[in-house]
Structure 1
Amino acid sequence: MNRPGDSQKPPPNTQQDEQPVKVIPPSYRTLYLILYNSVSALLWSVVLGYVLSIATVHGYRGVYTGTGQWTKWTQTLAGLEVLHAAIGLVRAPLLTTIMQVASRFLLVWGVVANFPVTSSASPAYSTMLLAWSITEVIRYTYFAVNLAYGYVPSGLTWLRYNAFFALYPLGISSECWLLWLAVTPAKSWNQAYEWVIKLVLFVYIPGSYILFTHMMAQRRKVMRGLGKKKAV
């Protein structure tokens, strides 16, 4: 699942400064977040390139072999976002961040890595990575640009809050299908693990609805503001 409502902006400074406004150089915290988001956008763009090129030439069955390891470690880097939220480096709810990162970890480490047959049994692994990588390239680029320049071009803002209409259903349905494909091999491997996967599948039903409706609310707010700027 994705993180539609998180923010990579540092928490606001609560101290009031009555002095005239001055141009303040970016803090080390801001520089770190710009670097983190820029590197993450680059890594996910590599995943996107791998998926498109491998699937075009060799078909979806070759995608995991060609990009599985890169994707695992690219997604593992996102575990830092739990730390960012925990120490207050960004304004993001800790529990939600943990749940969303954990679901990605389950898929790349607990499902596909343990049961590679799930990646070759259907195109779901390829379509999941396609949805993830496009989403993350847009998301991380949005945050990096916003942190670096203090604003985001309207085109990138539009992508950030409209691309999910296609990408979220594609990604979520692909994730659910991979989990379903993993049920049978998980049963022969460890029956407790089978029930964990079934439980996660059950949680996806309300979780996906909450995620999508939250993103819709965020979209209405942002697009309303974008419309006002154009009207000025």
Structure 2
Amino acid sequence: MAQSKCTRTGLALYNLISAVGWAFIFYQVVRTYPMVGQPAFFDVTKNIVTFVQCGALIEIINSLFGIVRSPIVTTAAQVLSRLLVVIGIFQLLPETPAAHSISYITLLLAWSTTEVVRYLFYFFTLCRKDGPPKVLLLLRYNLFWVLYPTGVASELSIIYSALPIAERVYGPLYKYVLVGSMLTYIPGLPMLFMHMVAQRRKVMKSLKENPAKKTN
């Protein structure tokens, strides 16, 4: 029982810290970007974005050891695809044109908004007896209609833009790695999107049947 309580406390702390990290990135987009513009905004934020996103490696570990119920394959695929962008492009190929364009802004807006809602949702699920506030529940299962396609389109735009630079700097093999990562979106995008649609259907049905209920 003590270990279970300790685990829940650790998970709650991780989710809260992650929410704060992504909230800071969101703040940078709405506050700093209008003042400095691109490409300066990319230069001053790429490292903190990489650092915050790398924190999600903890989620793979949690899934691997059964600390959370998330499937390891799905969790690893989602985290590693983002790490490919932040490390494989932002750090290794910082001259990528799309990283200096509006695609970077839309990417950060989609990622940060999604993650602030998601991590706060998990935090309150762990810490609040009645679960997360209803507003978080509605945001969690409705924002994805816009944010998921926006994030994916931005990721693909940045990866595609990096292809010629990847080949020039690291050779054709690295270019093929990036192309292969883009191809994984073909089966992955509809699968993950339909999973969210199915989850939303269940949650909305639960709320309709029991309006007082906060969580699924």
TM-score above 0.5, yes or no? yes
RMSD of aligned Cα (Å) = 1.9
Give 1:170 deviation, angstroms.
Answer: 0.7
* Residue equivalent to 2:78: 100
Partner Cα distance (1:228, 1:60) in 2: 48
- Quick one: distance in 1 between partners of 2:49 and 2:55? 10
Q: Does residue 172 of structure 1 match 2:156?
A: no
Distance 1:231 1:142 in 2: 17
In 2, are the aligned partners of 1:54 and 1:66 still within 8 Å (CA)? no
Q: Matches of 1:208 and 1:112 in 2, distance apart?
A: 22
Matches within 5 A, 1:56-205: 56-118=34-96, 119-150=98-129, 151-189=131-169, 190-205=171-186
Aligned pairs, how many?
Answer: 210
Which structure is higher in helix share?
2
Instruction: Give, in whole Å, the separation in 2 of the partners of 1:217 and 1:62.
Output: 40
Label 1:80 to 1:120 Cα distance change in 2 as closer, same or farther (>3 A): closer
Partner of 1:55: 33
Moved >4 Å (runs of 4+): none
Letter matched to residue 144 of structure 1: F
Tell me the CA shift for residue 139 of structure 1: 0.1
Q: Distance in 2 between matches of 1:165 and 1:63?
A: 27
Deviates more, 1:93-102 or 1:177-186: 93-102
The structure with the largest alpha-carbon Rg is 1
Q: TM-score, normalised by structure 1?
A: 0.86
Q: Supply the distance in 2 between the matched residues of 1:120 and 1:49 (Cα, whole angstroms).
A: 19
| Structure 1: 5+ residue stretches without partners | 1-12, 14-23
Equivalent position of 1:7 in the other structure: none
CA distance in 2, matches of 1:120, 1:129: 11
Alpha-carbon distance between aligned partners in 2 of 1:60 and 1:85, rounded to the nearest angstrom: 37
Distance 1:173 1:69 in 2: 22
For residues 198-224 of structure 1, what are the alpha-carbon distances to aligned partners after superposition, in whole Å with 9 as ceiling and x for unaligned? 111111122111111111001000111
The unaligned stretches of length 5 or more in structure 2 are none
What corresponds to 2:5 in structure 1? Answer: 27
Q: Relative to structure 1, is the Cα distance of residues 87 and 117 closer, same or farther in structure 2, using a 3 angstrom cutoff?
A: same
In 1, Cα distance between equivalents of 2:212 and 2:141: 19
**Partner AA of 1:230 in structure 2:** P
Deviation at 1:113, TM superposition (A): 1.4
Corresponding residue for residue 230 of structure 1: 211
Q: Deviations over 1:129-187 (max 9, x none)?
A: 11000000000000001110131221110000000111011100000000100101011
Q: Deviations over 1:48-102 (max 9, x none)?
A: 1112222211223222112111111101111000110111111111111111111
